Amino acid sequence: MSWYELHSALGNIGIFAILALSLNVICGMTGLLQLGQAGFFAIGAYAAGLTSIYLTFPELGVLNFAISAAAAIIAAGIFSIILGIPCLRLKGDYLAITTLGFGEITRLVLVNLQFPGGKMYPGEKIGGATGIKFTEFPGDLWPAYPNYSAEFASLWFTWMLVIITCILLINIKKSSFGRAMMCIREDEIAAQAMGINISKYKMMAFLLSACIAGFAGALFFHKELAIAPGKFNLICSIEILLMIVLGGLGSFSGALTGAVVLGITPYILRHVEICGYRLGEYQQLMYAVLLIILIRLAPNGIFGMNEIPRWWKSSVISRRSPADGK
């Protein structure tokens, strides 16, 4: 594997780690089954992309990332409120299907929507099935400037953000906010009796989860510089879900671990051969089988609901997870 490939792969794993963390907020901690996370990922990526294309200020250099990241977070946030309000009174399966619908609608709309080209593509329209791409500005509109975006979404920056996000989220989990959300996950009726405003906290979970996913989208755009709607599909949402199920629903360190394991696997498979069959071709098939076996044999994932320190200490404490019997 070339150095470039490895670099890119690790970057992607980092971005998906952030996505896994974001999904854990709403699925793992609050217990709401959200199957449309790829939609927020896409919204963030497109918001960042379009902002970069329309509003780049060469004087600002790397701070342009801040602008597009802000746009991504705000856009994702707004859509999460739009999605969240109807979802507040939906339960279980209905919530899953609605969020799935949201993810699919987002993808379908992005496939069909065309955006003005702005200064980068004067007179043209961008978008649609081929997506949007960040190239050089034409002519001498401004001096050829370095690909700050790609440099900026560098490996160390991405992974630093992964660690920071993980720590911040664990802090939230071990605070009153986390307790309230977990209470909603465990027993909504008890939560109401305790004075917890269910709607407020569900909305908070939606918002937080979507904004982080949107931010991951911004990172993704600035890394790839070219995005297309095809990637942001149901399979993407399911992959993220699989990561947190693998790591243990409710555990942020688990989400990280799951993302790393599931992220590395395709690259390993690509280079492994058994009896003349290159395993890489069978990746999706293996994932499907893996999912079925995992649910059957280890439904709590690796860490259950605990973060690493507690899991390390506990040997007596039972590790049943919210996936049981509901």
Partner 1 sequence: MKHLDTIQKEFKQFFAEGVGKSFGGLKAVDNFSMEIDTGEIVGLIGPNGAGKTTVFNLITGMETPDSGKFYFQRDYITGKPPHVISELGIARTFQNIRLLDYLTVIDNIKIAYHKHISYNLAHASLRLPKFFSVEKEITEKSFGFLELFGIEDSAYELASSLPYGKRRKLEMARALATEASLLLLDEPAAGLNPRETAELTELIRKIRDEFHISIFLIEHDMSLVMNLCERVIVLNFGEIIAHGTPLEVQNNPDVIEAYLGTGKKKNVS
Partner 2 sequence: MDNFIFFLTSGLCIGAVYALIALGYTLVYGIIKLINFAHGEFYMVGAYAGFGIYLVLPSGTPAIFAIPLIIISSGIAGIIIAVLTEQIAYKPIRKSGRLAALLTAIGVSFLLQNLASFINKANPLQYSSDKVGSIGEICQRSVSIGGGGIKIIQFVYIPVTLALTLILWYIVMKTNFGRAMRAVSQDPDAAALMGINIDSVIRKTFLLGGLMAGIAGALIGFHSVIEPMMGFMPGLKAFIAAVVGGIGSIPGAVLGGLIIGIVENMVLFCNVPSGYKDVAAFVVLILVLLVRPQGILGRNTREKV
Nearest approach in angstroms of CB 176 to partner 2 is 25
Q: Which of 21, 76, 83, 183 binds partner 1 (CB under 8 A)?
A: 183
Q: Which does 288 bind (CB under 5 to 8 A by kind): partner 1, partner 2, none?
A: partner 2
Asked if 212 is part of the footprint of partner 1 (rule: CB under 8 A), the reply reads no
- Of 55-63, 95-103, 142-150, 256-264, the segment contacting partner 2 by CB under 8 A is 95-103
Enumerate residues 143-182 that contact partner 1 by CB under 8 A. Answer: 168-169, 171-172, 175-180, 182
Q: Are 109 and 95 in contact (CB under 8 A)?
A: no
Asked if 283 is part of the footprint of partner 1 (rule: CB under 8 A), the reply reads no
Q: Which residues pair with 132 in a beta bridge?
A: 227
Measured CA to CA, the distance from residue 210 to residue 236 in angstroms comes to 15
Q: Residues 276, 197: contact at Cβ < 8 Å?
A: no
CB 266 within 8 A of CB 280: yes
Q: How far is CA 167 from the centre of its chain?
A: 17
105 binds partner 2 (CB under 8 A): yes
Could you tell me the two tokens for 8?
């890119």
Helix (H) or strand (E) holding 16: helix 3-23
Kindly state whether residue 108 participates in binding partner 2, applying the rule CB under 8 A. Answer: yes
Q: Does the footprint of partner 2 cover residue 98 (CB under 8 A)?
A: yes
Between the alpha carbon of residue 232 and those of residues 39, 131, 189, 237, the distances in Å are 7, 11, 35, 8
For tokens 């998906």, name the residue. 16
Please report which helix (H) or strand (E) contains residue 263, including its range: helix 252-270
Residue 237 and residue 67 in contact, taking contact as beta carbons nearer than 8 Å: no
Residue 90 found at the interface with partner 2 (CB under 8 A): yes
Count of residues touching partner 1 (by CB under 8 A): 31
Which listed range, 14-22, 105-113, 205-213, 264-272, lies at the site for partner 2 (CB under 8 A)? 105-113
Among 41, 134, 206, 287, the residue binding partner 2 under the rule CB under 8 A is 287
For partner 1, the binding residues (CB under 8 A) are 168-169, 171-172, 175-180, 182-183, 186-187, 189-198, 204, 305, 317-318, 320-322
